[in-house]
Structure formats: C-alpha cells, structure tokens
Structure 1
Amino acid sequence: MRLNHLDLHVPDVAATRDFFVSAFGLSEVETRGTNGLAILRDDAGLELVVSHAIEKFGGADTVAVGRNTYHIGFILPSREAVDAQYERVRAAGCEIAHPPAAMRGGWLFYCFAPGRILIEVGWRPSG
C-alpha cells in the first residue's frame, strides 16, 4: 500500500500553494477557483492537497484552532541538501523555528508554511 495524498486545511489556499511550489519545488497539478482547492505533486508521486476546512467533515485549520495539531516532513538524501533547502526556504521569507542542527540522530530544521503548517526538513544516515 502507498500513501496517495494528504489534505492540509489552510485559510489562504493560494498563498500556501505558492509557498510549496516556490520553496519546496512541488508541481501544481490543478487549482479549482481563485483560492479554491489546490492539488500539488512531489517528485515521488505523493499529492498534497491544500484546501479550506470543511465544517461538515469536522475540519478546522490551524489558525482557527490556535495550535498545530500535526506536522509534515520531507526527507532529503544528504546533510548538504538539508542546508540547501534551508537557504531556499529562508530566501522565500518563510518563518523558521531554527537553523539546521543535529537532532534525534539526524540533521534537520523546522519552519512554518502559510496557515501555520509546521514542516520538518531532515536527513538521517542510513544504517
């Protein structure tokens, strides 16, 4: 079984879509409406859906609840790739929790996408 997609609820779909395209290199597959549902894809085929929370499905965006209830993570092939991604995110004006550092057996950093989505970017040695 392979995970097909994740749907992140945010208050500003367009800003979050643009962030993931520019700062993380995801490809835009489709956007419905001016600020409607956006479907993005990474180079491994995972689809990241960015949408508004839908109350009838129990959805709430992070801003509405006032806290992060999850985070998403990207794994990169090397420590140098993490450092390069950190510079890319920093150049995009992303809020960064801290620069890359050794943590939990790897090299990683945390940042926030629009809508206060917590993102972990890291590398871990194989073995």
Structure 2
Amino acid sequence: MRLNHLDFHVPDIAETADFFIRHFGLTLKDMRGNNGLAILEDDTGLEIVLSHAIAKFGIADQVELQRQTYHIGFILPDRGDVDRVHVGLVAAGVQLSGPPAAMRGGWLFYCTAPGNILVEVGWRPAR
C-alpha cells in the first residue's frame, strides 16, 4: 500500500500551486476550471490536490481558521539541498521559522506556503 494523494483546501489554488511548483519541483498534472482545482505530482507519483473548501467536508480552510492545524514535510536527499531551498525561499520573501537547524536527528526548517500550509523541509542521514 502507498499513499496516493493529499487534498488541501486553500483560498487561491493558482498561487498555492505556483509555490509548490517553483520551490519544490512538483509538476502540474491538471488544472480544472478557473482556479477551481489543481492536481500536482511529485517524482514518485504522489499527488497533492489543491481545492476550495467543500461545505460537506467543512467550510473553512486554514486561512479562514487563522491557524495551522497540520503540516506536510519534504525530505531532501542531501543536507545542502535543504540550505539551497531555504535560500530560494528567503529570496522569494516566504515566511520562515528561521534558518535550517539540527532537529530530531536531521537538518530542517519550516515555512508557510500560500493557504497557510505549514511545510517542513528537511534531510536525515541514511540509517
């Protein structure tokens, strides 16, 4: 069994899709409607779906809630990759937790993606 997709409710689908494409190398697989739904894919086939809040599942996204109720994480192959992503996010003016630091046996930092999505970016040594 493998995880197939995650669906995040965000107010601006195009802005959030652009963030993940530009900074994390995801590919736009499908954009439906005018800013209606985006399907992004990573290099392993995991899909990230970006959609608007749907009333039957709860009518608020994390921007409306004004809090972060979950986070997602990207694991990178090399410690230097974490530093390079951090530099790119700093240059783009993205909200960051601070510089990469040694935490929980790895090297990582957090940032906030459009849609108020908390994103962990890290590297861990091979076991």
> The TM-score by the shorter chain falls in which range?
over 0.9
Identity of aligned residues (%): 65
TM-score relative to the length of structure 2: 0.95
Could you tell me which runs of 5 or more consecutive residues in structure 1 were left unpaired when the two chains were aligned.
Answer: none
SS at match of 2:98: strand
RMSD, matched Cα: 1.1
The residue number in structure 2 matching 1:97 is 97
Question: Which structure 2 residues correspond to residues 111-126 of structure 1 after superposition, within 5 A?
Answer: 111-126=111-126
Give the Cα–Cα distance (whole angstroms) in 2 for the partners of residues 91 and 44 of structure 1. Answer: 28
Question: In the TM superposition, what whole-angstrom CA distance separates every residue of 1:79-103 from its partner, at most 9, and x where no partner exists?
Answer: 1111111112222331111110111
- The structural deviation recorded for 1:12 is 0.7
- The structural deviation recorded for 1:60 is 2.4
Could you tell me which runs of 5 or more consecutive residues in structure 2 were left unpaired when the two chains were aligned.
Answer: none
The residue number in structure 1 matching 2:79 is 79
Report the count of equivalent residues. 127
Give the Cα–Cα distance (whole angstroms) in 1 for the partners of residues 124 and 27 of structure 2. Answer: 25
The residue number in structure 2 matching 1:41 is 41
Question: Which structure 2 residues correspond to residues 54-69 of structure 1 after superposition, within 5 A?
Answer: 54-69=54-69
Matched, 1:32 2:32: yes
Give the Cα–Cα distance (whole angstroms) in 2 for the partners of residues 34 and 94 of structure 1. Answer: 25
Give the Cα–Cα distance (whole angstroms) in 2 for the partners of residues 85 and 67 of structure 1. Answer: 24
Question: In the TM superposition, what whole-angstrom CA distance separates every residue of 1:11-70 from its partner, at most 9, and x where no partner exists?
Answer: 111100111111111100111112110000011110000111101122521011121110
Give the Cα–Cα distance (whole angstroms) in 1 for the partners of residues 2 and 109 of structure 2. Answer: 26
Structure 1 stretch 93-102 or stretch 40-49: which is displaced more?
Answer: 93-102
Structure 1 stretch 104-113 or stretch 60-69: which is displaced more?
Answer: 60-69
SS at match of 1:96: coil
SS at match of 2:97: strand
Q: Does the aligned pair in 2 maintain the 1:23–1:92 contact within 8 Å? A: no
The residue number in structure 2 matching 1:4 is 4
Give the Cα–Cα distance (whole angstroms) in 1 for the partners of residues 92 and 37 of structure 2. Answer: 22
Matched, 1:70 2:65: no
